[in-house]
Amino acid sequence: MVITQSCGSSTVSSFLALLLDKKENTLRQRLREWYWDAAAKKGQHRQELNVTLCFASLVCWVLSLWPATQKRLALALDATSLKDCFVVLTLSIVYRGCAIPVAWAVLSANTY
């Protein structure tokens, strides 16, 4: 996302396809399935991604790219509504004009 300056799955999958010499649609599907529940995935060795276990490593990786001279860290908090069904709360670290999501929660809409 940092290199492509986009979090769009089409942009990221296009970049990864070139980088890994793979088919773009295959990588787009892999990215899509990456966050699905294990039961929704194909194959015998299905696994779920527990994003809470990834949080510390992801933040450490993003901060490892941070310039040593930079004293401030910009954070962005976003609430995105998906129709009247869900609200996605996302915490991102802003780096070189790109917001890198490091924590998020999906909540039911209109419940509070």
What residues in the chain have per-residue pLDDT under 70? 1-2, 112
d(CA 103, CA 12): 19
> What tokens were used for 27?
């990588």
CA atoms within 13 A on the CB side of 92: 18
Please give the pLDDT value at position 112: 62
Residue 102: other Cβ atoms inside 10 A: 21
Neighbouring-strand partners of residue 106: 88
pLDDT digits (tens, 9 = 90+) for 82-93: 888 889 999 998
pLDDT digits (tens, 9 = 90+) for 49-66: 777 787 788 788 878 877
Please give the pLDDT value at position 2: 66
Q: What is the pTM of this model?
A: 0.54
> What tokens were used for 37?
């529940």
CA atoms within 13 A on the CB side of 3: 8
